Structure 1
Amino acid sequence: MKKVLLAVAAISMSLAACTTTTGTSTGTTAGTAATIGSNIFKAAVDNQCRTELNSNNAWRALALTMTAEQQTAMETKICSCVSEKAPQNVTAVDLATAAVDQNARAQIVANTVAKTLTACYSEFVK
């Protein structure tokens, strides 16, 4: 898994270095790698959020009062909120560690979701 992540990062950095818009560079390789890492982190957070939300007894009870469409819409709102706020609850060191260590990534994502889910849940479910 580490080799795949490193290969993807290397290819992404190589391609990003070649990309230009009207003759100017679009950004640094490090910036592009950080964006890719952030997007991967947000996707992992969204997935973990949905897992935790669906195992939460309060959410499951509330979901029984909603249609499937309402439930999906609310779940999307809550987990989008968590995905957007999660990077504020994680350090750059943790993000770098998560990029190369699968076990650390799972733990960092779980901790970050736990910190953020309650706030977002309360924001949308009143």
Structure 2
Amino acid sequence: MSTYIVVVDDEPDVAEMFRQQFRRDLRSGRFMLEFALSAPAALEQVKAIPDPSLILILSDINMPGMTGLEMLPKVKAERPNVPVIMITAYGDDATRTRAVELGAAGLLPKPIDFSLLRQEIEKRLERAA
């Protein structure tokens, strides 16, 4: 069974950055990365990935149209057991509090600390095993 992580960010170059950081994991098939350029697209992807294959959703907060914070309760309603970590360049206390209130498992500041993100992914992989 494949294990999926969905990354939601309106900046197309984010996908390449993630593929570079996790290229060994992707090549070995430890997990699959799916990318969505908008919150509505992410919601469709989340619906399409079968349980319990989806182990983590990483979402930017500031996106045009539906923001990551607006998407969060919708995705949690669809997949309540899948942790969502919000990613933002604006990691102030109010944003962090709002994200947690809406069900986020955490908040990562931009630029992304990929060693910290790798630790989060490892925890999710262990739980899914």
The structure, 1 or 2, with the larger RCO (C-alpha pairs under 8 Å, 6+ apart) is: 1
- TM-score, normalised to structure 1, is 0.28
- TM-score, normalised to structure 2, is 0.28
Give the structure with higher Rg (CA): 1
Name the structure with the higher helix share: 1
Name the structure with the higher strand share: 2
